[in-house]
Structure formats: C-alpha cells, structure tokens
Amino acid sequence: MSPVAVNPLPDHTVAVALFAVVVLVTLAITVWVGRRSSAAEDFYAGGRDFSPLQNGFALCGDYLSAASFLGVTGLIALYGYDGVLYSIGFLVAWLVVLMLVSELVRNTGRYTLADVLALRMRQRPVRAAAGTASLVVTLMYLIAQMVGAGSLVALLLGTDSGRAKGWTIVAVGALMIVYVTVGGMRATTWIQIVKAFLLVAGSVVLTVLVLLRFHGDLGELMRTAAARSGVGDAYLQPGLKYGAGTVSRLDFVSLGLALVLGTAGLPHILSRFYTVPTARAARRSTIWAIGLVGCFYLMAIVLGLGAGAVVGARAVRAANPAGNTAVPLLALDLGGGPGTSGGVLLFAVISAIAFATILAVVAGLTLASSAAFAHDLYARAWRRSDEREVTERQEVVAARIAAVVIGALAVVLSLYAQRLNVAFLVGLAFAVAASANLPTLLYNLFWRRFTTRGAVWSVYGGLVPAVLLVIFSPVVSGAKTSVVQGVDFHWFPLENPGLVSIPLGFLAGWLGTVLSRESADPDRYAELEVRSLTGAGAA
C-alpha cells in the first residue's frame, strides 16, 4: 500500500518544513526585488530589462503548472500512451507562439493583449472585449490551479479533510496576492525563474535515477511499465483513455485542438514578452522556453513510465484515482522506499517543488488578470473620451486593488469548485483562450481588412459559445462526474468545446469584418505592420 495513506507522519514533517522554506524564499524574493515598482512599466512589465535566458526560464515557469508536473505524469503512469498526447499538444503549441505571436506582440503592444488590438482598432470596444476575455481565461485557469493546490497539498500532507483543502486554497490565495501587490512583475518573474530551475533540476534528478534503475534501457522501462499496468500491451497503444466510441474520439480531437491553439492566447504568457527589451529578445526567450519545455516533457514521459514501472499503476491509483501523486511516490521509491531517510527526503523535495510550481503559476495569473482589469477595462474601456484620463499612478493602484479582489474572488470560487476536475478546467481555459483571444489576435496582425467590429465579434463569438457549450455539456450536468447532480440539462456531447468554439471565433471575426459599415483604416494597418516587423516605436 502507499505510504501516503498509511503512515503519514514521518514523511510529512520534512515535507512541511520544506513547504515553509518555499514560502519564506518566495516572500523574501518578493520583498527584496519588489521595492522599486511604483511605475506601470515596473508593475506590469518588470522594467523590461530581463535577459532572454531569464525570460525563457520565466516563460517555462509560467507555463508548466502542477497540471504538467503531476497531472500529465500521472496520466502517463495510469494510461501510458494516451497520457503522452497532453505533453505533445502542450509543446507543439509553442511553435504558434514562436512564429506568429511572440515577436509581433512584443513590437505592437505595451502590457496586454488588448494593446495590440487598440493599435489599429477603436480603443474602447476592443479593450472591453479583449479585457473581459482575458479576465475570464485567467480566472478559469486560476480556479483550476487553486483547486489543484488544495487537493494536492492535502494529499501530500496525508490528510483528506475538506477543511485542510479549504485552508490550503485560502493560504495559496493570500500568498499570491502578496507576491503580486508587493512585488509586481519583477518579483513574479524571479519567482518563476527559481521555480522553473527547481522543476527542471528535480525532473533531471528523478529521470537519471529512473534510467539508472533500468540500466539506461528505455525499452526495458516501457516493457516493465506495460507489464505492471494490468492491461499489458494496450498500455503502450493509443485508446486506453480516449478509445470508447465516436464521441470520446471527437472529444480527444477537440482537446488536441484546444491545447495546440490555446497557448498563444493565454494572457499571462503574452504579458511575459513585454519583460524583455526587444522583439529579438522575445524570440530568443521563446526559443529557450521551447528547449526547456520540450526537455521537461520528454523527462515527464520517462517519469510517468517510471512511476508505472517502479511504483505500479495499482499503487498509484490507490493513492489518488487521477494519478496526481505518481511522481512524489516515484521519488519515495527511488530514494530508497518508505521509512528510509533517502526516500523521505526525496519525497519531501519533490513535493515542495510541486508546491512552488503552483505558487508561481497562480502569481503569474493574478498579475495578468489585474493588468487586464486595470490597464484595459478600468483605465480605458470604461472611460468616456470626455472624462479625465486615469494617471499612471492611479492605474497601478487600481491594478494592485484588482489583484486583491481577483485573488479573493478566485479563492471563493475555488472553494465552491472543489468538485471540478482540474485537468478539465485547464483544458477549458485553453479552449476559451483559443476561441476568444487567438482568432482576433491573428486577424489583427495578418489581415489588412480586419475591422473593429470584426475584432469585437471575434472575441465574443469565441468566448460566449465556449462558455455556453461547457454549461450544456456533460461536465456540468447529466453524467456521474458532473458538477450539478440530480438534474440533466446537457445537450452538447463533448467535454471540451474547442472543436466547435474555435472555428466559431474565426467565423465571427470574418463575419463581423464583412458586415462592417466602416472599412479598415489602411494608415493604421500600415503602422501596425511596420511596427510589428521592424520594432519601430516599440515600447
């Protein structure tokens, strides 16, 4: 049986101590680097003077959530090949970011996604639309991370009480508010860098230990994992998780589409490109991120298979049905097993890294959502042109207040959303980002005739269907795992709306443009195009 369920005490004192160290170190970073930020450029963009290598690590830190470190490895441990799809989708998505988005967004925006639109469109409607969509995406992602944090910390500490989970969510929320309000983007970025370094280092250590255990023979690793999975060869073949019927297969395609197109629309990833001085630096940081993320996911495959082979699928499932503790259990075994000091120590270190991962990601998300609120909605979209402009100082104050309010809101929503599946929420956030943010961004950068109406329609035309389709999907009602039990109002068969809502976002953008009364302003497109490719006049 797993040590997590049976004998929690000795393992967890070390883990608790290391969790405390993580909290103290991140708070120290926040206080240390956060003092200087009172200007908007500091608060939203960290002064724009990070190097490509630093920002590459920070991008990696923002991107690799606990869903990747624990969730994807757990899925691979339990479902073998079908878990690998997540890692591939999450990685290939970076090519969209690299080629179509990072440099152009760096050159044409200042702090947020809506800046890029406002450069050529009428400011207030596009900021209202893009700001709202960014808030929705970050809030969903935030809830996913916090619900995950609650169950994860409870699991790692060996309790299963609702109260422990609730307090974890509150504590994580309080910490992320402190990081963001006190430290702004500078502190958030350094926290990401430290976290990404720890995450990659921890993965390397575990990967090396797994390879040593199997004498470097990957084929032996795969065969052992398959043999201990209880399903034999099917473990190494597609279809173990997503193979039952046409609906399940369409759901798989929908998820695959959302994963590959969603990353380039995530507000907290886009805002990272403003922390480096030039578009060239943005490109180089993306290349670093692709290298790090790619190596991480290759290691994640080894770790997932390693957990299947060393711990065994049955023990993994017994500790957590979704497989979320596969990697900590693997660490326990590789360190020498339960009861040995090596095992306990490695288990505690890996758990603390997972905890740092969650803290860093929620900080990045809170910052991005407060920027969307203060910079896009409060200071611009909600101002009539005859009103006095909001000063930079007022805007940053509003952003700090927004971080507190959004953080508190995320805590409350997470407390009520604890029954939602974490991987589903992340997939949904990606689907909404791909439906609402990506079409308008791409049209704006590449389509000469795109108009303000097209931009607004494209955002709402992706956002509204994505959210509605989820409400009427089996996720919310009509299935055994639904949020609402006892009633059944679902009519949309898929769990992930991407397959329908992403094309709708593109379609709405095209329709809005074709049906516009005004035509696109060629002067402004000239400005956008020249800026985007040369960097002239870039912030």
The separation between CA 121 and the C-alpha centre of its own chain, rounded to angstroms, equals 28
Closer to other proteins by CB, 17 or 53: give it: 53
According to the binding rule CB under 8 A, does residue 84 interact with other proteins? yes
According to the binding rule CB under 8 A, does residue 453 interact with other proteins? no
According to the binding rule CB under 8 A, does residue 95 interact with other proteins? yes
According to the binding rule CB under 8 A, does residue 337 interact with other proteins? no
Among 57, 190, 242, 457, interactor with other proteins by CB under 8 A = 242
According to the binding rule CB under 8 A, does residue 249 interact with other proteins? yes
Rounded distance between C-alpha atoms, residue 427 and residue 430, angstroms: 5
Mask for 99-128, x = binds other proteins (CB under 8 A):
xx--x------x----x--xx--xxx----
Which CA distances in Å does 219 have to 203, 224, 226, 232, 271? 20, 9, 11, 14, 41
DSSP character string of 181-210: IIIHHHHHHHHHHHHHHHHHHHHHHHHHHH
In the numeric block, which tokens belong to residue 379?
A: 């200071």
Closer to other proteins by CB, 73 or 145: give it: 73
Closer to other proteins by CB, 235 or 355: give it: 235
H-only helix segments in 433-478: 438-446, 452-471
Site for other proteins in 265-284 (CB under 8 A): 280, 283-284
According to the binding rule CB under 8 A, does residue 518 interact with other proteins? no
CA angle 408, 413, 417 (to 5 degrees): 150
According to the binding rule CB under 8 A, does residue 527 interact with other proteins? yes
Among 6, 161, 385, 518, interactor with other proteins by CB under 8 A = 385
Contact 167, 175 (CB under 8 A): no
Which CA distances in Å does 453 have to 428, 434, 440, 450? 26, 19, 11, 8
CB of 314 to other proteins, least distance (A): 21
Nearest CA to 47 among 186, 239, 163?
Answer: 186
Which amino acid appears at position 130 of this protein? A
CB of 56 to other proteins, least distance (A): 12
Nearest CA to 195 among 36, 69, 99, 105?
Answer: 69
Site for other proteins in 220-239 (CB under 8 A): 222-223, 226, 236-239
Closer to other proteins by CB, 413 or 530: give it: 530
From the list 351-359, 428-436, 509-517, 518-526, the region that binds other proteins by CB under 8 A is 518-526
Mask for 469-508, x = binds other proteins (CB under 8 A):
----------------------------------------
According to the binding rule CB under 8 A, does residue 448 interact with other proteins? no
Among 92, 408, 409, 413, interactor with other proteins by CB under 8 A = 92
Secondary-structure breakdown of the chain: helix, strand, coil percentages, each rounded to the nearest 5: 80, 0, 20
Residues 6 or more apart in contact with residue 511 via CB below 8 angstroms: 454, 457, 461
CB of 89 to other proteins, least distance (A): 8
Among 243, 321, 337, 339, interactor with other proteins by CB under 8 A = 243
In the numeric block, which tokens belong to residue 293?
A: 């993320």
CB of 255 to other proteins, least distance (A): 9
Among 86, 297, 378, 506, interactor with other proteins by CB under 8 A = 297
CB of 125 to other proteins, least distance (A): 11
Q: What is the chain's Cα-based Rg?
A: 23
Which amino acid appears at position 322 of this protein? A
Among 15, 64, 96, 345, interactor with other proteins by CB under 8 A = 96
Three-state DSSP class for 424? helix
Rounded distance between C-alpha atoms, residue 437 and residue 523, angstroms: 24
CB of 113 to other proteins, least distance (A): 13
Closer to other proteins by CB, 143 or 289: give it: 289
According to the binding rule CB under 8 A, does residue 526 interact with other proteins? yes
CB of 213 to other proteins, least distance (A): 17
Closer to other proteins by CB, 110 or 165: give it: 110
- Which residue(s) pair with 484 in the sheet? 477
From the list 14-22, 177-185, 286-294, 509-517, the region that binds other proteins by CB under 8 A is 286-294
CB of 286 to other proteins, least distance (A): 8
According to the binding rule CB under 8 A, does residue 256 interact with other proteins? yes
**What are phi and psi for residue 484, nearest 5 degrees?**
-95, 120
Nearest CA to 277 among 59, 94, 46?
Answer: 46
Q: End-to-end alpha-carbon separation of the chain, Å?
A: 57
Burial class (CB in 10 A: 0-12, 13-18, 19+), 322: middle
Total residues in contact with other proteins, by rule CB under 8 A:
62
Residues 6 or more apart in contact with residue 397 via CB below 8 angstroms: none
CB of 131 to other proteins, least distance (A): 13
Three-state DSSP class for 228? helix
According to the binding rule CB under 8 A, does residue 247 interact with other proteins? no
Nearest CA to 105 among 263, 262, 257, 272?
Answer: 272
Rounded distance between C-alpha atoms, residue 3 and residue 5, angstroms: 5
According to the binding rule CB under 8 A, does residue 241 interact with other proteins? no
Closer to other proteins by CB, 107 or 440: give it: 107
By the criterion CB under 8 A, which residues form the site for other proteins? Answer: 81, 84-85, 88-89, 91-92, 94-96, 98-100, 103, 110, 115, 118-119, 122-124, 219, 222-223, 226, 236-239, 242-243, 249-250, 252-253, 256-257, 260, 280, 283-284, 287, 290-291, 294, 297-298, 385, 389, 522-524, 526-527, 529-531, 533-537
